[in-house]
């Protein structure tokens, strides 16, 4: 096991994009502040996508302008095209994330383009963002399975991940968008990936729809993965991936890692408080296990 891993927090983006109700700007800023207080150093705060497609994040410009990143904290946001990049730059973000699926149907439903067209359109985002001094992260979605096509060939995901890294992404986050992955499948996918890509350039983005996310994370840890995406309270899901429930809850991930002696730089008690803020702003019970059960030390 490593001494330390990096946690990439996505509740303010993956979480809020999937809420039925739109959360007001002030509440979003409260959530981001609570995440910063908990010690999260990498936070995806919103998406510069079309407000027609994701109305819940239509206030991305205001969120990015008002959210305060102290030294050492990086804020990022999803960015699908040149318009998104212009908005991210105007808001002063230092990092963006581009995204594409490993399955054609999900990609088409999510961004209205084929995979090839999406990769081609990254010429308008990745290169210009790097030239402007931003860092770019890449997502490959539906790596473990597609809500429309079922099984996905991991070789397709590898090919896309390599293209993202070649184009200049510093890291590629592999997504189990609908939370179907199992540990043996994860081992197979990561074995294939790590033949071509150094493990430190891969992150795992597991949705916990079927309760297998932590088991998959343990496999990732054993295979050299050192960045894990998670969402406080276990919020999250892609509106264009039917049946996708919450992301792996950040509290569950951090509880397990700290218990295994793997440091994260996160204060678990403060993180639990951030989960309470998340729950209060969305106005419904959140599914995270530690969020519901609380932190309990086995020491007397």
Q: Which stretch binds ligand HMG (CB under 6 A): 27-35, 44-52, 127-135, 292-300?
A: 44-52
Residue environment code for 197-223, b if the CB has 16+ CB neighbours within 10 A, otherwise e? beeebbbbbbbbbeebbbebbebbbeb
In angstroms, rounded to a whole number, what is the distance separating the alpha carbons of residues 237 and 133? Answer: 30
Is residue 169 part of the annotated active site? The answer reads: no
Nearest distance in Å: CB 87, ligand HMG: 6
User: Do 142 and 102 contact (CB within 8 A), yes or no?
Assistant: yes
Nearer Cβ to ligand HMG (165/272): 165
Binding-residue pattern over the window 151 to 180 for ligand HMG, x denoting contact by CB under 6 A:
------------------------x-x---
> E strands within the chain?
6-9, 42-47, 74-78, 95-101, 135-141, 171-176, 202-206, 227-230
In angstroms, rounded to a whole number, what is the distance separating the alpha carbons of residues 28 and 91? Answer: 16
Binding-residue pattern over the window 259 to 298 for ligand HMG, x denoting contact by CB under 6 A:
----------------------------------------
Nearest distance in Å: CB 238, Mg ion: 6
Residue choice 14, 104, 251, 279 for contact with Mg ion (CB under 5 A):
14
Residue choice 30, 37, 83, 135 for contact with ligand HMG (CB under 6 A):
83
User: Do 175 and 141 contact (CB within 8 A), yes or no?
Assistant: yes
The distance from CA 233 to its chain's CA centroid, rounded to whole angstroms, is 14
**Would you tell me which residues interact with Mg ion (CB under 5 A)?**
14
**Would you tell me which residues interact with ligand HMG (CB under 6 A)?**
14, 17, 47-54, 78, 80-81, 83-84, 87, 99, 110-112, 139, 141, 175, 177, 205, 207, 238, 240
């Amino acid at each position: 096991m490593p001494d330390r891993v990096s946690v990439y927090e996505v509740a303010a983006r993956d979480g809020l994009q999937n809420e039925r109700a739109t959360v007001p700007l002030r509440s979003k800023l409260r959530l981001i502040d609570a995440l910063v207080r908990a010690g999260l150093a990498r936070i995806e705060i919103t998406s510069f996508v079309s407000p027609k497609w994701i109305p819940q994040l239509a206030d991305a410009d205001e969120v990015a302008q008002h959210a305060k990143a102290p030294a050492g904290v990086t804020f990022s946001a999803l960015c699908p095209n040149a318009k998104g990049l212009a908005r991210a730059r105007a808001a002063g973000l230092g990092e963006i994330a581009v995204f594409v699926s490993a399955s054609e149907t999900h990609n088409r439903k999510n961004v209205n383009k084929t995979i090839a067209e999406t990769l081609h359109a990254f010429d308008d985002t990745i290169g210009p963002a790097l030239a402007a001094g931003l860092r770019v992260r890449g997502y490959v979605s539906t790596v473990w399975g597609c809500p429309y096509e079922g099984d996905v060939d991991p070789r397709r995901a590898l090919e896309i991940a390599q293209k993202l890294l070649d184009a200049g992404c510093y890291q590629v986050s592999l997504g189990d968008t609908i939370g179907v992955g199992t540990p043996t499948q994860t081992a197979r996918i990561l074995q294939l990936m790590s033949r071509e890509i150094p493990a430190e350039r891969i992150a795992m983005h597991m949705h916990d729809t079927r309760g297998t996310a932590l088991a998959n994370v343990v496999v990732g840890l054993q295979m050299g993965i050192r960045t894990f995406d998670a969402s406080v309270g276990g919020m999250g899901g892609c509106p264009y991936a039917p049946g996708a429930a919450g992301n792996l809850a950040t509290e569950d991930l951090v509880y397990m890692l700290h218990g295994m002696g793997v440091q994260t730089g996160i204060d678990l008690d403060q993180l639990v408080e951030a989960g309470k803020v998340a729950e209060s702003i969305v106005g419904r019970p959140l599914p995270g296990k530690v969020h519901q059960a609380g932190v309990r030390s086995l020491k007397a």
